[in-house]
Every structure is written in structure tokens, then in C-alpha cells.
A and B are shown apart, each in its own frame.
Chain A
Amino acid sequence: GESVGLHLPTLSVQEGDNSIINCAYSNSASDYFIWYKQESGKGPQFIIDIRSNMDKRQGQRVTVLLNKTVKHLSLQIAATQPGDSAVYFCAAAGWNTGNQFYFGTGTSLTVIP
């Protein structure tokens, strides 16, 4: 199977600073990773994904870094805004898990105005 964990349950950052949220996974066969954002009272929303043939992918104000050697990925949010306050979690899937994703427990990001 797979075990996915986030390093910090909570993170507070000042508005305008950059945020980094980390995630570790255990299954070396995991080859597809997703970051989700979940606001209070809503379902998880897709932010960005990355496949194992890449080590970096950028979106709008977000960057995901993948280090397969140490089985670690991170989500970087540039110029964090109050609207970024939410729970962020990663998900991992591999060729040996079929359609099944394994999810981390989430980091609650609070942006201080």
C-alpha cells in the first residue's frame, strides 16, 4: 500500500510571504501526485499535479517539487494571500495501486493579514 503524511498540521504565514507545505510518501511505485486545497465547508479542489518523470511543475503562483530519492514533495505558494487560507493535502497513486489514491492528513494554512 501507500502511506502519505504531511510534516506540519498547521502553518501560519504573513500575507505576501511565500508558503511551503511538505508531504512524504512511502511507496516507491507511486508515480502520480496531486495537491488539493480544501476550504471550510467545501470539498477538496485540485490545485496542481505532477508525474514522476518531472521534478518540478509550476502553475499560477504555485510550484510543486518532487524528490523521488527521498520520497518527498512540496507545494510552494508565492505571495500568499488571505484567500489561500485553507487545508492543503497531497495525494499519491502508483502503478501498483490501480485507481486508488492515498491522501495525506492535511496542513491547515492560516494567512495573517
Chain B
Amino acid sequence: DVKVTQSSRYLVKRTGEKVFLECVQDMDHENMFWYRQDPGLGLRLIYFSYDVKMKEKGDIPEGYSVSREKKERFSLILESASTNQTSMYLCASTQTGNQPQHFGDGTRLSIL
């Protein structure tokens, strides 16, 4: 079974802090994704990566950056956290575009 592991289940940070969310997958998948999930809005794509050191903007990249130095690890960075970035963050991976994405259990991030 594919395992996607997000480093923290819950995280509380302060406005202006730089925040790192880490995600690791164990199935050698090419593609990795970061979403945020907000009530009534569904999952919205922040960034994705289809290879090491490659990244593409999703629908809501503003205020975020990503890093993929190794194939199994995809990091989401909030450069200067703001209260409107309080959300559930979900990481996913898949081998190809036309296959189901496998999700981690999410990081619930609160920015105070």
C-alpha cells in the first residue's frame, strides 16, 4: 500500500513566521501535490511537482512556495504566515496523471 506521511497532524504558528510542511511518500511516485481544504470550497491545488526540482503552480499559489530536492519528499513553505492561511493542508502523490492520487492524513495548521 502507498504510504503518504505528513510530518505534523496539528501545527500552531504565529503571523509572519516561516512555516514548513513536510510530506514523504514511499512508492517512488513521480508526481506530488499540495492542496488546502476549506469548508465549502473543496480541495484546491496550491502547487504540484512532476519530478525532482520541478514545480508547477496550481490554482492558489500566492503566499506559498515548494521544494522537491528528493523524489520522495515534497515540502510546502509559507514564506510569511498569515491568518487566512489557517486551513487543512493535504499532500498527495501519484505515479502518472491518470491514476488515483494517494493522500496523507493532513496537517491542520492554525495561524494566530
Would you call A43 and B4 a contact (CB within 8 A)?
Answer: yes
Give 1 or 0 for each of B11-38: 1 = CB within 8 Å of chain A CB. Answer: 0000000000000000000010001000
Chain B 78-105, CB-CB to A under 8 Å as 1, else 0, gives 0000000000001000100110111111
Q: Knowing A43-B105, A44-B103, A99-B48 touch, does A89 contact B98 (C-beta < 8 A)?
A: no
Count chain B residues whose beta carbon lies closer than 8 angstroms to a beta carbon of A: 23
A-B contact count (CB 8 A): 48
**Quick check: B50 and A99 within 8 Å, CB to CB?**
yes
**Whole-angstrom distance from the CB of B51 to the nearest CB of chain A?**
11
Q: Given known contacts A43-B104, A49-B100, is B43 in contact with A103 (CB within 8 Å)?
A: yes
Contacts of A98 in B (CB 8 A): 97
Q: Report A88-105 residues with CB < 8 Å from chain B CB.
A: 89, 91, 93, 98-101, 103-105
> How far does the alpha carbon of A32 sit from the alpha carbon of B100 in the complex, in Å?
10
Contact B106 A43 (CB under 8 A): yes
Interface size on A, residues (CB 8 A): 22
Give Cα A104–Cα B105 distance, bound, in whole angstroms.
18
Residue contact A41 to B42, C-beta cutoff 8 Å: no
* Complex alpha-carbon distance, A89 and B40, angstroms: 12
Q: How far is the CB of A8 from the nearest CB of chain B, in Å?
A: 13
- The answer to whether A99 and B42 have CB atoms under 8 Å apart is no
- Can you list 6 A-B contacts with CB-CB less than 8 angstroms, sorted by A residue number? A4-B42, A42-B106, A43-B104, A89-B42, A99-B48, A100-B45
9 smallest beta-carbon distances between A and B, as pairs: A43-B103, A99-B97, A103-B43, A105-B42, A46-B100, A103-B42, A43-B105, A44-B103, A43-B104
